[in-house]
Copies of this chain bind each other. A is one copy, B any other.
């Protein structure tokens, strides 16, 4: 357990380091005010803090920098208790727009967040979790070409063009789509495969001639991809951070950002509320020098999305956490109202 003085010193060091990116020395702390002890005393405390693993040195006679454990302590014990549930009304002007679409809100928010923080923002749209199928459609483009369109109740649209082999009758497809629409309307996306394989299949066998072939085609067209909405804002922001002068780091970061699957995994086991992941707590090597702060926003019935900000471990935790908290709350509020007005 840390004494008050140790906690104070730890806090000052972290605040200072977050601002300057340079190791912090005892003299600097003593001068900065707040701590009214001599450098020597502070040095002793710093040595203790280092022994306990909260601080590190870059070399034997350097000042101290926070360790990941230090940041963790700071986040858990210093910031959280002082967080206010303030509303910043950041998103007011977005929500007001008449032509809003969930995906647009989400995208705009990502941009705003990275502009305000100078970090990279990632937003994961509402989970497939409770999202339901609204409608399936096939629009023929020509004799052998069509677009399959899938619409969810959140207004998300997936589409995929495909060629219809001559062997398959257009009428069969049409019948099939009708059956599918009839049966699958309102089914959560996550259960689509199940319902398809049980109820629907038998039905289709009855009515559709060349069932086997047509079914495999449709299945491929409609359900081959899991719809995920992921938006990234301000990727080039991290380049302004001094810790990323090294091109190798930049490279691994960008490679990661281009890989949707990995990104989705990043968020896989986040609970509701705020989450801070510091450095190696992260599961990917590529961002072991990063911290990530995530918050969840909710839609009406348990649907849940994630907002995240990604920056160096030397991140402005307090600012970002306050901001993210506010934005998540505002999104939840706005979406609640929206659902109430427009809900099915």
Interface residues, chain A, with chain B CB atoms under 8 Å away: 98-104, 134-135, 137, 139, 141-145, 147, 149, 151, 153, 155, 157, 159-163, 165, 220-221, 224, 235-236, 239-240, 244-245, 247, 250-251, 254-255, 258, 341-344
A160, B103: Cα distance in complex, Å: 9
Report the minimum CB–CB distance from A284 to chain B (whole Å): 15
Interchain nearest-CB distance for A267 vs B (Å): 21
Q: Tell me which residues across on chain B come within 8 A of A160, comparing CB atoms.
A: 99, 101
> Once the chains bind, are A344 and B141 in contact (CB under 8 Å)?
yes
Alpha-carbon distance between A341 and B153 when the two chains are bound, in angstroms: 36
When distances are taken between beta carbons in the complex, the residues of chain B under 8 Å from A235 are 254, 258
State whether A134 touches B141 (Cβ < 8 A): yes
Cross-chain contact A142 with B247 (CB below 8 angstroms): no
**How many whole Å from A336's CB to the nearest CB in chain B?**
15
How many Å from the CB of A93 to the closest CB on chain B?
16
Evaluate contact between B151 and A155: CB separation under 8 angstroms: no
Nearest to A155 among chain B residues (CB) is B161
Q: Do residues A153 and B141 form an inter-chain contact, with CB atoms below 8 A?
A: yes
A312 to chain B, nearest CB (A): 14
Chain B residues whose C-beta falls within 8 Å of the C-beta of A244 in the assembled complex: 247
Residues on B with beta carbons closer than 8 Å to the beta carbon of A250: 239, 247, 250
Question: Assembly of this chain: how many copies?
Answer: 2
A163 touching B245 in the complex, CB below 8 Å, given contacts A139-B134, A141-B134, A141-B344: no
Complex: A10 Cα to B43 Cα, angstroms: 64
Task: Contact check, B101 vs A161: say whether CB atoms are below 8 A apart.
Answer: yes
Q: Can you add 10 more A-B contacts, CB < 8 Å, to A98-B162, A157-B157?
A: A98-B163, A104-B161, A137-B137, A142-B342, A144-B342, A147-B151, A155-B161, A235-B258, A239-B251, A245-B247
Q: In the complex, how many angstroms separate the beta carbon of A337 from the nearest chain B beta carbon?
A: 12
Return chain B residues, CB-CB under 8 Å to A220.
99
Chain B positions within 8 Å of A101 at CB level: 160-162
Q: Smallest CB–CB gap between A33 and chain B, Å?
A: 35
A342:B143 contact, CB within 8 angstroms: yes
Beta-carbon nearest neighbor of A246 in chain B = B247
The chain B residue sitting closest to A252, CB to CB, is: B236
Assembly CA distance A283 to B248 (angstroms): 29
A344: chain B residues at CB < 8 Å are: 141-142
Inside 8 A of A134's CB, which chain B residues have their CB? 139, 141
Complex: how many Å from CA A254 to CA B135?
Answer: 38
* Closest CB pairs A-B (n = 7): A155-B161, A101-B161, A157-B159, A145-B342, A236-B254, A239-B251, A142-B342
Q: Are A155 and B149 in contact (CB under 8 A)?
A: no
Bound state CA distance, A151 and B148, in angstroms? 11
- A121 shortest CB reach to chain B, Å: 13
Residue of B nearest to A221 (CB): B99
A75 to B212, CA, bound (A): 55
Output the nearest chain B residue to A98 by Cβ-Cβ distance: B163
Pairwise interchain contact B135-A155, C-beta atoms closer than 8 A: no
Write out the residue numbers on chain B whose beta carbons fall within 8 Å of the beta carbon of A155. Answer: 141, 145, 147, 161
